[in-house]
Amino acid sequence: MTIARGRSRSSTIRRHSPQVIVLTVLFCASIVPPFVFLAYSSLHELDPSGAFGAFTFGHFATIFSSRTFNSVLVNSAVYSLGSALLALVIGAAQAWLAERTDASLRQVLYVASIVSLGIPYVLYIVAWILLLGKAGPVNAFLQGTFGGVGPYINIYSLGGMIFVEGLLWSPLAFLLLSPVFRNSDASFEEAASICGAGLFSTLRHITLGMARPALLALGLLVFIKASESFEVPALVGLPGSTRVLTSTIYQRLTLDMPPDVGSASAFGVLLLVVMAVLLQIYGRVAAQTHRYQTVTGKGFRPRVIRLGRWRHSAGALIVAIPFVVVVVPLATILWAALLPYYQPFSIKAFPLLGFGNFEQVLNSQSFRGAIVNSLVLGGAAATLVTAIAAVAGWCVARRVPGSRLLDTLAALPLVFPAIVLGLAFLEIFVHAGSRIYGSLLSLVIVSVVAYMPYGLRYAQLGVIQIHPELEEAAAIAGARQGGAFVRVVLPLLLPALISCWLFVFLLAVRAVSLMLLLAGPDSQVVAVALFDFWNNGQIGELAALGCVWTAIMTVFSTAFLVVARRYQLPIG
Amino acid sequence: MLHVENLTKLYAPGESGGGIRDISFDVTAGEFYTLLGPSGCGKTTTLRSVAGLEEPSSGRMTIADQVIFDSTTRVFLPANQRRLGMVFQSYAVWPHMSVFDNTAFPLRMLPGKRWSDADMRQRVMRTLETMGLAAFADRSAAQLSGGQQQRLALARALVAEPRLLLLDEPLSNLDAQLREQMRTELRRLQKEVGVSAVYVTHDQSEALALSDRIAVMHKGRIVQIGTPHQIYQQPNNVFVATFVGRSNLLRGALLEYDAQDRSARIATSLGPVLCKARDGAAGPSPSAALIRPEHVVLTPVAGSGEPGLNRFRGRVSHVAFLGEATEYVVQVNDVDILVRGIAGHYDGSEAVNVFFPPEKTLAIAVDEV
């Protein structure tokens, strides 16, 4: 018995490949400290200098006894649910129209979604605040039409938050749902038609029925993303005192005097628990999405439904959705960028238009620095993630011994909402006492940790598409494992890795919340600069920088979608 | 029952663009009618046009005297108003519904009819019982095996008593043994229910076994309509002869033709061959002699006499033992003749005589395709 155990263990050790061991150590080193620091600071007194004091449950006790805690929880739930529903309805409607019908102008939807992927969150949110704010054109129009006083729409409310966050996610919902509708064999719908079902019966019973698992999974995904979102809660929620979990953490850290790191950490721990539960449920639901995949014979044909007399109404809808979701906000930003001082749209403001803001932004050393920093940060993070993910993804997909642990470790950062991960690393960097705090390197490290799960997923899916026999053939032909990986796997994996790189790049440069607590004067990035502009009321500069940045990002997001669609890789 | 007249649908102009041209046929009540042809011949387009899933560019169709399509009067009845049943190649059984709900769907869609739960249940269960699926009623359709999904698709197609049953290569996704079993069952069910059926397949043995009548299609046109016997024994052109069943085709010039008893002599590369034109054929010119492998008579050289009329000397070049028969390839003057022998045995490279019985040898036209 003892001998047998000893033997089996020695063989396991021998079978563990060095790359799995190195990766496991690396992943542990990157994700364990944030957990430890967050938990530790939530359970200890902190003095103003940041040093840890006595052990305490006080932070949690204060939270649970606070009168606002319940309303924060309810707000968080309502906000996330509302955003998920709105994004789902808009995204599903677009996806169905674009993939399953002969509605006119379908291509408009793809173009609009690609552009919207490149718009920084802050810019998009600011656009809606300008549009729907008290002095905004929409309220002015409603007041002009219906008379009366007081704004008709208050964007600084839970409803306003849901509206903006829902719209923010709708392009991604569309891009993720369109393959669901595209890959469904048309004969399912044709069968319903033969059975006597009309357009709407077929849509209700068959199309939506079959897409239900995918819709549920996507709804849950947006729910999770909204729960951990920071930008809308901070920019739209806080001014109206509608607080959710993420904005409460931010408030405790930056708006309260003195900053309450202990209480913020305690909120962070609570949010981690919520996220862990949600992600667990999501994993179950997502695993069910393939349940309805059935044999589709040689006769597979994705075919379109003839809308008949509805065709042009659908075409109108197809133009209207991107118009509201993309064109109107961008036009608002452009308007703001061209004005020296912001004022709502009016004819008499036309003589004021000019390129002053653009000149200022492009001539300023610090803004140009922010643009360069963002590109360097995105490029470095994307390159590191892609390189590590290629090896780790191969290990996981090929089930190398020890890779299960690797898979679990790599997924752990997902439970950290960006603002909480930023907080945890803030504490690490502060206590590390080195010069790393506030440097661009610190932002790269945090981004690599945060986006590794996405990179790994891309690489893993890419490897799965490569049949193991291709590697085995290389081995038979005399190649060693490393040689087979470089000569056979990597070339075939290249499309997946390119889209992985672009995806991580887009995530890294778009994020505000991850960087907000960490960026220093020497590591200013565009997303944080936009956030600061808004807080300082510099709308013109914000809009001008935003326009320039959106133009640059559209190039990247277009490249990403082209690669992803060409090689049928996931977009989310 | 179904009347199709000059149906045309072209995907692209020109002969090569696919689509169908001038398709006309009639399906009588209770008939099992098969559209047979290679892939791309237009059979599925024809079926989908009957179903209402495709709109033809011209022609006219009626079901039980109701016009469902007429290009001149611009009538196009949508698929969901034609009251048909259809079994798809992929079955298209809805995976998110139970077996019961799949079957009940057509009943729920019947216009102007409210079903009580009991009536609905009785009707659905009766159909499921016929298909041997009653025990699976509450199971999710995604859990069924291929053969069960097939039967469920059939149950769904039949439950609302359709005017016409359309079947699009329904057996092609099944494995060989199950396919044969379902073939028998399909035929039995169709006769039992008494519904007219239009069946599409590229498999000639399925077509021969199942059909009352077959329309052979080629390049978007119907090239021959007939009973399985007529199609197999009296193909009216080379395409039908070679597509349905296997055959030895000997091309050559027509030497003489006797219109009285329809006998013809054709100068083939083996020598003159005496054969018979099919019933009702005009003079076969230019011509070929066609003989099925099972009709070729193989005899030992010793005792069967010298080569003569339709009798040629050859050498066995391949032997394949199939169990119930043996197949030979016999080389005669560098021409390979396929022979299917039931009795006797010949070794490879053995010299043999082959004989083409004149009454089993068909003179057919080459250019009718």
Here the CATH number for the domain that contains residue A21 is 1.10.3720.10
Same structural domain, A312 and A409 = no
Q: How far is B177 from chain A (nearest CA, A)?
A: 18
Same structural domain, A332 and A472 = no
**Does A300 touch chain B if contact means CB atoms closer than 8 Å?**
yes
**Does A208 touch chain B if contact means CB atoms closer than 8 Å?**
no
Indicate which of B39, B43, B88 best probes the interface with A, i.e. most A CBs within 10 Å of its own CB: B88
Residue pair B313/B351 in contact (Cβ under 8 Å)? The answer is: yes
Check residue A3 and give its pLDDT: 41
Number of domains in chain A: 2
Check residue B174 and give its pLDDT: 81
For the stretch A369-390, what's the b/e string if a residue is b when 16 or more beta carbons lie within 10 angstroms of its beta carbon? Answer: bbbebbbebbbbbbebbbebbb
**Does A204 touch chain B if contact means CB atoms closer than 8 Å?**
no
Same structural domain, A322 and A407 = no
- Asked whether residue A426 is assigned to any structural domain, the reply reads yes
**Does B80 touch chain A if contact means CB atoms closer than 8 Å?**
yes
Q: Which of A187, A192, A195 sits opposite B90 (nearest CB)?
A: A187
- Asked whether residue A55 is assigned to any structural domain, the reply reads no
**Does A40 touch chain B if contact means CB atoms closer than 8 Å?**
no
Q: How far is B49 from chain A (nearest CA, A)?
A: 12
Higher pLDDT, A432 or B8: B8
Task: Answer yes or no: do B92 and A191 touch at CB < 8 A.
Answer: yes
Same structural domain, A314 and A450 = no
Task: Answer yes or no: do A194 and B94 touch at CB < 8 A.
Answer: no
Task: Answer yes or no: do A210 and B96 touch at CB < 8 A.
Answer: yes
Q: How many CB atoms lie within 10 A of CB B256?
A: 10
Same structural domain, A237 and A385 = no
**Does A185 touch chain B if contact means CB atoms closer than 8 Å?**
yes
Same structural domain, A209 and A322 = yes
Check residue A570 and give its pLDDT: 60
- Asked whether residue A4 is assigned to any structural domain, the reply reads no
- Asked whether residue A375 is assigned to any structural domain, the reply reads yes
**Does B78 touch chain A if contact means CB atoms closer than 8 Å?**
yes
Closest residue in B to A188 (Cα–Cα): B92
For the stretch B96-127, what's the b/e string if a residue is b when 16 or more beta carbons lie within 10 angstroms of its beta carbon? Answer: bbbbbbbbbbbbbbeeeeeeeeeebeebbeeb
Check residue A142 and give its pLDDT: 85
- Measured CA to CA, the distance from residue A18 to residue A11 in angstroms comes to 14
Check residue A5 and give its pLDDT: 41
Residue B110 — very low, low, confident or very high, per pLDDT cuts 50/70/90? Answer: confident
Taking 50 as the threshold, does the pLDDT of residue B36 lie above it?
Answer: yes
Indicate which of B96, B139, B171, B198 best probes the interface with A, i.e. most A CBs within 10 Å of its own CB: B96
Q: How far is B79 from chain A (nearest CA, A)?
A: 5
Chain A residue numbers with beta carbons less than 8 Å from the beta carbon of B173 are 295, 297
Note down pLDDT in tens along chain A; length 572 residues.
Answer: 334 443 433 334 446 688 888 899 989 988 898 999 889 888 888 776 667 778 888 888 888 888 888 899 999 999 999 999 999 999 999 888 888 887 777 778 888 887 787 788 899 999 999 999 887 888 888 888 887 777 788 899 999 999 999 999 998 888 888 878 877 778 888 899 899 888 888 888 988 888 888 899 899 989 999 998 999 999 999 998 899 999 998 888 887 777 788 888 898 999 999 999 999 898 888 877 766 654 444 444 555 677 777 778 888 888 888 888 888 999 999 998 998 888 777 778 888 888 888 888 888 888 888 999 999 999 999 999 999 999 999 888 888 888 888 888 888 888 999 889 998 998 888 887 667 888 899 999 999 999 999 888 888 888 888 888 888 887 787 777 777 888 888 888 888 888 888 889 988 888 888 888 888 888 889 989 999 889 888 888 899 999 989 888 888 888 887 877 777 666 54
- Measured CA to CA, the distance from residue B102 to residue A541 in angstroms comes to 60
Structural domain boundaries, residue A417 = 16-38+355-572
**Does A310 touch chain B if contact means CB atoms closer than 8 Å?**
no
Contact residues, B window 293-322, toward A, CB-based 8 Å cutoff: none
AA identity, residue A312: H
Pairing of strands B263-268, B248-258: antiparallel
Check residue A50 and give its pLDDT: 66
User: Helix (H, G, I), strand (E, B), or coil: what is residue A464?
Assistant: helix
Weakest mean pLDDT among A67-76, B25-34, B55-64, B336-345: B336-345
Q: Which of A193, A205, A206 sits opposite B80 (nearest CB)?
A: A193
**Does A210 touch chain B if contact means CB atoms closer than 8 Å?**
yes
Check residue A9 and give its pLDDT: 39
- Measured CA to CA, the distance from residue A96 to residue A84 in angstroms comes to 18
Residue pair A260/A60 in contact (Cβ under 8 Å)? The answer is: no
Check residue A568 and give its pLDDT: 64
- Asked whether residue A284 is assigned to any structural domain, the reply reads no
Closest residue in B to A295 (Cα–Cα): B90
**Does B81 touch chain A if contact means CB atoms closer than 8 Å?**
yes
Return left, alpha or beta for B92; rule: phi > 0 is left, psi -120 to 50 is alpha, else beta: left
- Asked whether residue A46 is assigned to any structural domain, the reply reads no
**Does B212 touch chain A if contact means CB atoms closer than 8 Å?**
no
What's the whole-number average pLDDT of chain B? Answer: 88
Task: Answer yes or no: do A196 and B146 touch at CB < 8 A.
Answer: no
Same structural domain, A233 and A369 = no
Residue pair A460/A410 in contact (Cβ under 8 Å)? The answer is: no
- Asked whether residue A432 is assigned to any structural domain, the reply reads yes
Check residue A41 and give its pLDDT: 86
- Measured CA to CA, the distance from residue A512 to residue A419 in angstroms comes to 9
CB contacts < 8 A (A, B):
102
- Measured CA to CA, the distance from residue A425 to residue A431 in angstroms comes to 10
Same structural domain, A207 and A83 = yes
Same structural domain, A320 and A377 = no
Taking 90 as the threshold, does the pLDDT of residue B99 lie above it?
Answer: yes
Q: How far is B102 from chain A (nearest CA, A)?
A: 10
Closest residue in A to B93 (Cα–Cα): A188
Closest residue in A to B153 (Cα–Cα): A191
Chain A residue numbers with beta carbons less than 8 Å from the beta carbon of B81 are 196
What dihedral do alpha carbons A307, A184, A455, A107 form, nearest 10°?
-20
Chain B residue numbers with beta carbons less than 8 Å from the beta carbon of A292 are 95-96, 142
**Does B111 touch chain A if contact means CB atoms closer than 8 Å?**
yes
Closest residue in B to A303 (Cα–Cα): B53
AA identity, residue A121: Y
Q: How far is A568 from chain B (nearest CA, A)?
A: 23
Same structural domain, A556 and A448 = yes
- Asked whether residue A393 is assigned to any structural domain, the reply reads yes
Same structural domain, A421 and A555 = yes
Q: How far is B80 from chain A (nearest CA, A)?
A: 4
Domains and CATH numbers, chain B: 2-233 (3.40.50.300), 246-369 (2.40.50.140)
pTM listed for this prediction: 0.80
Cα separations in angstroms, B308 against B262, B269, B288 = 21, 15, 19
Q: How far is A275 from chain B (nearest CA, A)?
A: 29
Which of A371, A357, A328 is CA-nearest to residue A527? Answer: A371
**Does B220 touch chain A if contact means CB atoms closer than 8 Å?**
no
Same structural domain, A32 and A181 = no
Task: Answer yes or no: do A299 and B169 touch at CB < 8 A.
Answer: yes
Closest residue in A to B96 (Cα–Cα): A210
